[in-house]
Amino acid sequence: MNVLTVLLLFTAFLITRVSNLRLAIQILIVQSLGVAVACVWSGLGSELMHTYIAAMLTVVIKAGMIPYALFRVAARLRNETENKPILSPNQTSLAAALLLAVAYGLVDQALPGLGRDALAGALSGFLIGLLIMITRRQAVLQIVGLIMMENGIYLLGLSMTRGLPLIIELGVFFDVMVAVIVLGILTFRLKLSFMTTDTTVLQKLKG
Amino acid sequence: MALEMLVQAVGITLLAPLLQGFIQWCKARLQNRRGPSPLQPYRNLFKLLAKDMVVAGTASWISFVTPFVCFGAAIAVAALLPVVSSGWGVSDLFLIVYLFGLSRFLLALAGLDSGNSFAGMGSSREMYLAVLVEPAFLLAIVATAGAVGTTELGRMVQHATAHSFTLPYVLAAGAFFIVVIAECGRIPVDNPDTHLELTMFQEATLIEYSGRQLALLLWSVYVRQLAMVVLFVELFFPWHWFDLIPSLFVWGMLKIFLVGFLLALTETSTAKMRLFRLPNFLAASGLLALLALVAR
Amino acid sequence: MNDLELDRLFFQMVIIFLTGCMSAVALWKSPRLANCVSHGLAAGGCALMFYLAGTVLAGGEAVLIFIGRWLHAGEVALRIDPLAAFFLLLLSVVGGAASIYAIGYTADHYSRRYAILPVLFNLFLLSTVFVFASSHAGAFLIAWELMTLTSLLLVVYEHEHAANVRAGFIYVVMTYTGTAFLMAGFFIMAAAAGDLSFEKFIAVSLTQPQRDLVFLLAFIGFGTKAGIIPLHVWLPKAHPAAPSHVSAILSGVMLKTAIYGMARFYLEFLGVGPTWWGVMVIGFGIVSALLGVLYALMETDIKRLLAYSSLENLGVVLLGVGAGMVFSSAGKPLLAGLAWAAALFHAFNHGIFKALLFLAAGAVVQATGTRDLEALGGLIRRMPYTAAAFFVGALAISSLPPLNGFISEWLTLQSLFFLPQALTGVSGKIAGALLFIALAMTAALVAACFVKVFGIAFLARARSRKAETAKEAPFTMTLPMLGLAGACLYFGLQPHSMLQAISRVLQPYIGIDTRGLFEVDRIGLMIQANHAEGVLSVTLLAGLLLIGCLAAAGLYYLRGKAVRVTAPIWACGRAATPRNQYSATGFSGPVRWSFRYVLRSQRQRIVDENENIYVGRKLAYHQSIRYIVDEAIYYPVQRWILRQARFMKRLQAGSVQLYVGYVLVVTIVVLAWSGRK
């Protein structure tokens, strides 16, 4: 389990340094696969059938459909890259490290002695996802951040309860899918309307 | 009961034009004119009932129906008033007021029906007057006779007889007299004799009527006038029941015609008010009634 | 008839309404078929409902339809007691008429999205049924919200007009605010009763401040739905925006759900309260009645006028409710019964004649394409049946004998007349008298208002081309109107059966006694309470009116055949045109002048000075009134909210990153806070 947590954190840190869209998506696939493996792992321990279903869904949706959609978007966008992130890669990594510390602190404070590493890793995955969304201007990278966040939440649930009820997981999946679809459409619209997917142009919409 | 009621209705209906004639005659005398005989309204009605009608081309069945319903409502009021004896116990105050309302409603519609602008103005003013008169009407009676705990007029009249000329009744009498003037369309509220478009109320709504329909409408107006006077006399000038005993009958008649004379006197001695001064006039009635209520 | 058969009947009714929805969906490609089938099914459902409600009302016993357990909600029951049955009866009459009317009326609306209309209509009827039948706070609120939602969608159905969408928006804001108050009220009850079922709410022990709070919450919550002034702002906007058959149900029935709710709370749950409850209800009632009718009289939009007049009628109903509460707390159960009966009967009657008026107004609007009274006129010849129906409705709403409106107005007047018996001292007498004046004035204003509507819209000559070419509505529209007109006449001449049913409805409640209140003898309807009596003999009255009319006819033909010669009207020697006719604005002029301090009327006259003044000048005249309640309450609130919003706007930078940043900060704060020792 710890291996997987480390994998999650590693991929999260990687994404903080990446400015190429396709590369970021590939890293995301790896991370999602890691989450799926974690899911199976916990299923082996508890002999609960639905964790396998959840793992399968993770693979199909997060490692399959969503990255596929994102690749298509990225392909259409051609040479859009993250040019001027709000924080430079170095600064972002630093912030991510800080968040990791915060996550450990929080976990220690709230739930001492309960699967500490997994929990803190999951939480920091979630927080770093948020961080990515804040510090990147590119719409696609923001989607990536969102999914990272979701992975973090998922692992959080897994490490605390040995798997949430299937119905809740299904709900979360569909939530994410809808969000990604909406964001994908939004990205297209951005490109069409503003010739860029830099989300800072959205500030012009403010009333 | 039904027979007595019908007799009473017919009696009041037949007497109504006489009161009108009497008031006109008194007015003429007060103005140093000879004036037509008090029986003139009968002659007018009789003649009108034989005449052809000129009907506005734009008028609909509303105009046709109105005279009949107004006359019907007048007959119903005449039958329901507790005149012959108090025994029926069916003459409700609200019912009487709303029956007046029914004929006023239809008359106002008939005024709008022809499309004549004067008639429309008459309708508008008539309904406006109702807004002022109806509350004053109800309040003047309820403030005094309401103490009896019912709105049945027979019982109210009994109460009035028992408490006649006490302070509340004297005050309310003033209030109700104003209402009588307004309901009968007399100066200073309305001028029944004028045909000057700017001063007309009720006359204006009748402007497109002629012949038999006009006769029916005029007659119902006379009946309404007599009904108001009878109500005034009974409540504030009590006469007991008119049990077909000659002496009581004569007394009752005298009182009715005395009130008629009072109406003629006010008409001669005051000038017609502007439309927008009417609220003050009727507010005076309302205030008197409120005082009566407090004094009760 | 035992419960088993009735509950089967109930479910059949539900299935019919649902089938009505489904069929419209299934037949969406053929609007004509969807219209007939779906609205036909709705009418069928209403017929079943009529039978069901009638049976329960005649039996006088509550009927349990369904009971089930639901997780934490406790026992969820559908129960039709006489009170619910009474309102269901109203719904069935109005809903049935509106359904049939819809077949003809909505035939003009065929389009791609047409199928939504019958679907929503069926759902709206069904959810209203559940509002009345639910005997469980949760179920009630869900049904209540469904009713609000479906009606909202119907209000904004014609969303091409920006005004309709705006009306829908205001409607949503107001009713959801109201529902919030209702929920709070229910929560307090539920917390005290430990259960959500209405049965447990009865006579639940609450402290006096709690009772006061529940009273106020329910009053605000239901008052918003009833549109009592000053919670009325949505009503005159939303009701006219809906298609007319829906407006009829909105005004005729949905407003009454508020009265139903008040009856539930004040009669059943809270029981007898302190005097100030009733006094407060009366106060709001009289303000609503007087202001409502004044605004109605000033209005020239026929449907908005009807909506304002609904405010007035709900005000009159509240007068009855309030008087009933005052009597209860003064320990006069018979008079309380009288006042509540007046309220319920007026609610019922208003449902019928207001639905009738809305249906007729809808026919007019459809035939002429305008809602502006100043553009109508002369429709009595073009649309004779619609005009006749509207005429009956106008008489009824002006509470003139011998129609149903008069009976309930009479009962209300009676209960106000006896009100000083429950209030002590001279102040009580004066307050009673002032109420009396206000109600009498209201009645006269209503009469003026409906003389105006009928006289301007239907009589004289057409004021526009559209009105000149109007055609009578198809029989599917005129038939329900005439049916409702018949109902107005029936309940005017035969009020006894309904009043006795109402007294059975009211009998079980604490503080109310209706035994022997309504006596029917050969004279007519009699009310009898201690030191309070009243007699109203409707049959005698009708007989006398008839005899009088016959006598008039006799006089008419006394001196031979009547000859009628047609001639143009007199207009001082010039040929009269429709422009000579009195206008709606002109008609209400004197009242506008008299009440100028309330109405804040403003006028603007534009005179073209260039032309020779002897030939005639161009005149433009603009008249408007200002709404004192809106200005005093809503505008300041609105300004305050906007100021706050401008302040809050600084948070809305438009940057996605910043927003996500908020989320990050909040997350960490929440986690830290939840993890605190």
CA–CA min distance C448, chain B (Å): 5
Name the pLDDT band for B240 (thresholds 50, 70, 90): low
Which stretches of chain B are DSSP H helices?
A: 2-30, 40-48, 61-80, 93-113, 117-145, 153-162, 167-183, 202-205, 211-236, 246-269, 278-295
Whether B185 contacts B200, CB under 8 Å: no
Q: Is residue C176 part of a domain?
A: no
Q: Is the pLDDT of residue B87 over 60?
A: no
Q: Which residues sit opposite C519 in a β-bridge?
A: C526
What is the rounded CA–CA span in Å between residue B71 and residue C576? Answer: 30
- Which helix (H) or strand (E) element contains residue C76? strand C74-80
Q: Are residues C571 and C635 in the same domain?
A: no
Q: Is residue C335 part of a domain?
A: no
Cα–Cα dist C437/B286, whole Å: 9
- DSSP labels, C427-458: HHHHHHHHHHHHHHHHHHHHHHHHHHHHHHHH
Structural domains of chain C, count: 2
Is the Cβ pair A200, C660 closer than 8 Å?
A: no
Same domain, C545 and C632: no
Q: Is the distance from CB of C303 to CB of C358 less than 8 angstroms?
A: yes
Whether residue C218 lies inside any domain: the answer is no
Give the span between the Cα atoms of C393 and C396, in whole angstroms.
Answer: 5
Whole-angstrom CA distances from C241 to C161, C165, C634 are 9, 9, 21
Mean pLDDT (whole number) for C392-398? 96
Instruction: Please report whether residue C235 resides in a domain.
Output: no
Same domain, C660 and C577: no
C2 pLDDT band, cuts 50/70/90, is low
For C669, the domain range is: 628-674
In this model, does residue A112 exceed pLDDT 60? no
Is there a single domain that holds both residue C414 and residue C514? yes
Measuring CA to CA, which residue among C557, C502, C99 is closest to residue C339?
Answer: C502
Mean pLDDT of C416-434: 82
Which site among B75, B179, B210, B217 would you substitute to test the C interface, given the most C Cβ atoms closer than 10 Å to its Cβ? B75
Q: Is residue C156 part of a domain?
A: no
* Cis peptide bond prior to C402, omega within 30° of 0: yes
Instruction: Mark whether C507 and C359 lie in a shared domain.
Output: yes
Split at pLDDT 50, 70, 90, the class of B2 is confident
Q: Which two tokens stand for residue C4?
A: 């088993």
C469 plus C574 within the same structural domain: yes
Whether residues B79 and C535 touch (CB distance < 8 A) is answered with no
pLDDT given at position C183: 94
Domain presence at residue C494: yes
How much of chain C exceeds pLDDT 90, in percent?
53
On whether residue C433 sits in a domain, the answer given is yes
Which of C566, C588, C610 marks a domain boundary?
A: C588
Say yes or no to pLDDT of C45 above 90.
Answer: yes
Task: Give percent above pLDDT 70 in chain B.
Answer: 93
Please give the pLDDT value at position C298.
92
Q: Which two tokens stand for residue C542?
A: 């009708």
Q: In this structure, are C544 and C663 located in the same domain?
A: no
**pLDDT tens profile C451-504:** 999 999 999 889 998 888 889 999 999 999 999 999 999 999 888 888 889 988
Q: Which two tokens stand for residue C138?
A: 């949760």
d(CA B20, CA B36): 11
H or E element, residue A131: helix A116-135
Taking a contact as any Cβ pair under 8 Å apart, which residues of chain C between 627 and 666 contact chain A?
649, 652-658, 660-661, 663-664
Give the tokens for residue C597: 């301090």
Reported as a single tens digit per residue, the pLDDT across C57-94 is 988 888 888 887 766 667 888 899 999 999 999 999 99
Subunits adjacent to chain C (3 or more Cβ pairs under 8 Å): A, B
C580-607 pLDDT tens trace: 888 888 899 889 888 888 888 887 777 7
Mean pLDDT confidence for C201-215: 88
**Model pLDDT, residue A87:** 76
pLDDT above 80: residue B193: no
Residue C664 has pLDDT above 90, yes or no: no
- Residues C150-156: contacts with CB under 8 Å, at least 24 apart: C150/C120, C150/C123, C150/C124, C151/C124, C151/C242, C151/C246, C151/C250, C151/C254, C153/C116, C153/C120, C154/C117, C154/C120, C154/C121, C154/C124, C154/C242, C154/C243, C154/C246, C155/C238, C155/C241, C155/C242, C155/C246, C155/C250, C156/C241
State residue C656's pLDDT score.
73
Chain centroid to Cα C186, Å, comes to 24
* pLDDT over threshold 60, residue C677: no
C666 and C572, same structural domain?
A: no
pLDDT in tens, C238-284: 999 999 999 999 999 999 999 999 999 999 898 888 989 999 999 99
pLDDT score, position B196: 67
Q: Using CA atoms, how far apart are residues B278 and B286, in angstroms rounded to an integer? A: 12
- Chain B contact for C520 (CB, 8 A cutoff): no
SS3 B294: helix
Q: Which two tokens stand for residue A89?
A: 């890669």
Other CB atoms within 10 A of residue C676 CB: 7
Least confident of A5-14, B244-253, C174-183, C206-215: B244-253
Smallest CA-to-CA distance from C477 within C362, C352, C307 is with C362
Q: Could you tell me if C566 and C660 lie in one domain? A: no
pLDDT confidence bin for B216, thresholds 50/70/90: very high
- Give residues 430 to 469 of C whose Cβ lies within 8 Å of B: 430, 433, 436-438, 440-441, 443-445, 447-448, 450-452, 454-456, 459-461
Q: Is the pLDDT of residue A118 over 80?
A: no
Among C562, C588, C614, give the residue marking a domain's end: C588
Q: What is the amino acid identity at position A127? A: L
Identify which of B134, B116, B263, B104 has the alpha carbon closest to the alpha carbon of residue B204: B116
Q: Do C653 and A203 touch (CB under 8 A)?
A: yes
Q: Can you tell me which residue has the tokens 């000329």?
A: B165
- Report the pLDDT value the prediction gives residue B86, as an integer from 0 to 100: 61
| Residue type at position B108 | A
Cβ neighbours of residue C207 under 8 Å, at least 6 residues apart?
A: none
- The mean pLDDT value of chain B amounts to 87
Q: What integer is the mean pLDDT of C119-123?
A: 94
Query: Looking at the predicted structure, is the pLDDT value of residue C3 above 70?
Result: no
Residues 6 or more apart whose CB falls under 8 angstroms from that of C130 comprise C78, C139, C142, C143, C146
pLDDT of residue C217: 95
Least confident of A104-108, B284-288, C401-405, C550-554: A104-108
Quickly tell me which residue has 């000033």 as its tokens: C298
Higher-pLDDT residue of A123 and C311 is: C311
pLDDT given for residue C196 in this prediction:
86
Burial group, residue C18, by CB count within 10 angstroms (0-12, 13-18, 19+): middle
DSSP single-letter state for residue C659 = H
Q: Is C650's pLDDT higher than 90?
A: no
pLDDT value of residue B205: 86
pLDDT beyond 70 at A206: no
Mutate to test the interface with C, among B142, B189, B223 (most CBs of C within 10 A): B142
Instruction: Give the integer Cα–Cα distance in Å for C34 and C114.
Output: 9
ipTM: 0.95
pLDDT, tens only, C146-171: 999 999 999 998 888 888 899 999 99
Helices (H), C263-332: 275-298, 302-329
Instruction: Give the per-residue pLDDT at C657.
Output: 76
Average pLDDT over residues C192-196: 86
Say if the Cβ atoms of A109 and C672 lie within 8 Å.
Answer: yes
* Coil/strand/helix, residue C78: strand
Percent of chain C topping pLDDT 70: 95
Token pair for C232? 């009325």
B 42-81 → C contacts, CB under 8 A: 49-50, 52-58, 60-62, 67-69, 71-76, 79-80
Contact B112 C591 (CB under 8 A): no
Q: Provide mean pLDDT across the span C359-378.
A: 92
- Res A94 pLDDT > 70: yes
> In this structure, are C495 and C547 located in the same domain?
yes
Q: Best-predicted range by mean pLDDT among C29-33, C442-446, C584-588?
A: C442-446
**Within a domain: C121:** no
**Chain C residues within an 8 Å CB radius of A142:** 656, 660
pLDDT of residue C219: 95
Task: State both tokens at C59.
Answer: 């039996």
